[in-house]
Amino acid sequence: MRGLGRFASIVGLSLMLAWATPAAAQWKSPASARPGSSVAGRPADGAGYARASGSILAAPSAAPAQHGLYAPPSAPGPESPETLLPPNEVFGRLGYAPLTNDRTGISVYDPLYAQTFVDHDGLWQRVMETEPRRYFLEAEYLAATTRKPQGLVGQRGALSYIDLVGGPLTDQFNLGFFVALIRGQVDNGGVPQSRNVEARPGFNYFGAATGDSLDDITGPGIQVRWGFDNPDQSSLAVTFRYIDTDGDYNAERDLSTRQGRFKEVFEAALASPDFRAFDFRPLSLNQVFEQNLFNLNGLPLDDGTLNQLTPDLPGGGVTAPYDLAFNLNFRSQQITGAVHWYLQPFFDRGWLRVRPVFGARYMFLREEFSFFGRDSGLYYDNQDFDAPLIPDLKLHSIPDGLDQNGDDIVDNAGTLEGTGQQGGGNQQGGAGGDPCAALQNLVDQLQQQVDDLTQQRDDLADNVNDICNQFGPDSQQCLDAQAALDAVQQQLNQLLIQLTQRINDLAQCRAAGLPAIGEGRFIPISDPITSTLKSEAQSHLVGPEVGVSYEFGRPTASFRFVGETRFGVLANIERVKVSGRNIGMTTRPGDFLTPTPENPDPNAFSDTKNVAHVSPLLEQSLSAQGEVFQYVPILRRVPLLRTAKLRVGYSVTLIWKVIDPLDSVRWQGNPSQGLFPSVRINRGNWWTQTWSIGVHWDY
């Protein structure tokens, strides 16, 4: 037994040594091998290998006989050392050396992206994408609509024009029925009339306009999107958008075709040094003036009397009438740049996937409200020239669109159609058909005023002498008395100028027989006046956005529907500027400043404010795209459209707390008292909606 144990130990030790000995040591030296023979499984020369250009190339052959694999010599020649590699070497799947490996280990069909996940049923799923990153480009034409400015064009709470002149029309001219019709009341006045010009019933009589008076704010735009879709279903999109919209209001567009004729004759007469001496033949002054002075709109203003209660005119303020032009315009421009990153879908059904969206937006918004008004500077009514004047009056027929007196003029100025009460010209000047009788009456009236004012001046002059002698020439009492005398003298000088002009008109009328002013009671109070105002608001909005994108159909599908909902919080840096000139009561020349060489434009104004705050944003978009061009015979031949897709869409953007340029004006108007329009910031909700059509390219 002891011998048997020693034998087993020797055999085991031998086996261990044999296993630990390198495989190369089991082979005999090549030098001792016979030509053409193989050494312990080594293939014979030329068997399993081929020599070419000094290198050994792998060729199909039988596998080596032993576990070890033959390694080719490092250089050709009979003396090159040859070795066998040990089995299971890591050079390749079959143990080949790198230069002789017949497989790369990478397939051109392997996926670029692979993801393993558990689906909603609890099953393991694996998604593999073999397509590379796909780029896209979209170009769209936009038809946009933007919000209208809100609020009244003018000062809230100011007296309406009918409130200014209604009382005198009723008391002095016995025209209570006219006032009741304008106000929308019954003739006996059973319903009290509100003095709020924003919602006055009845007929228009230089009534106020509002932001809703404007046409819809519409216009064109463009949008360009570029980006790419990754194999893992994430995406990047860069968007640029430009939109330019505007809307107008022209008070003349609703006038009858029997108004506004002979416009050139009217403008020439109004621009002449004295229209009463203008030769209208074969027409008459009435024929021209009654159809070219319009009942348009008025501009409510705070002239310094707003909220100063008085028994006759509670509320205060005025409404300035414009009888030649009243135009409004609103323009909204927007430039938007945005970058959005779409993450991998958190919900994917194949036909529907929902992805979260993160991004940032910059938007420049410029909105401008502008007003243009023009007034003739004329006073006119239906009275004879010897009747007293009503301050601020411009009398028009009821604006019912009818020619009730059969003179081929609709809604005459200075005439009440269908009432038998019309201008002095139709009454033959009030003096037996003498065309110069009305002018003679005006000269007599002015002469009487001059006489009365001269007597008042002489009495004040005597009083000034007495006061100055009593208190001294440098005393305050003397200075005050002298100031009162100067004011009366200034009024007298103005009356003398008017009287001289009318005497000249009368002399011309008597000499040439021209119709002159005898055809109607149109009296110049001032030169024609043009009023303008512009309120411009600029907003720079920048901030982050977050939302979701829901897509029906893959990006490569022939038809695809996409919707997006995004929320944002934007920093809003705003600037408002209000500027213009000649905003005041157009029927009161004394409310305006007189130009001087030092200040040639004293009634101009400008005011600016800068503010910053935060504005929330909500945007919703829907779009559909499909392969349409390929089925249109002509378009499918266009190379640019051959692989393109038609894209249509709709979007709406809502931003809270954006400055409204119309509602941000403080409507003050009395330059003589230092009252000019200025900035009063008011904000509202801004929105724009677009319909789009365009082209989508994948490349």
Strands 347-348 and 113-118: unpaired
179 vs 398: CA distance, rounded Å:
10
3-state secondary structure of 177: helix
Q: What is the pLDDT of residue 49?
A: 40
Q: What is the pLDDT of residue 187?
A: 37
Q: What is the pLDDT of residue 34?
A: 45
Q: Which two tokens stand for residue 431?
A: 């003096």
Q: What is the pLDDT of residue 82?
A: 47
Q: What is the pLDDT of residue 3?
A: 56
400 vs 547: CA distance, rounded Å:
55
302 vs 678: CA distance, rounded Å:
12
Q: Which two tokens stand for residue 605?
A: 């104004």
CB burial of residue 457 (10 Å; 0-12, 13-18, 19+): middle
The position carrying tokens 């239906």 is 382
Compute and round to an integer the Cα radius of gyration of the chain. 48
Residues of the chain with pLDDT under 70: 1-121, 125-131, 185-201, 308-314, 385, 418-442, 502, 505-520
Name 507's bridge partners.
Answer: none
Amino acid identity, residue 262? F
Residue 204 has, within 13 A of its CA and on its CB side, a CA count of: 19
Q: Smallest Cα–Cα separation from 159: which of 312, 390, 314, 323?
A: 314
Query: Residues with Cβ < 8 Å from 280, sequence gap 6 or more?
Result: 265, 269, 287, 288, 515
321 vs 391: CA distance, rounded Å:
12
554 vs 352: CA distance, rounded Å:
8
* Backbone torsions φ then ψ of 47, nearest 5 degrees: -100, 115
58 vs 437: CA distance, rounded Å:
130
Strands 683-698 and 134-146: antiparallel
Q: What is the pTM assigned to this prediction?
A: 0.68
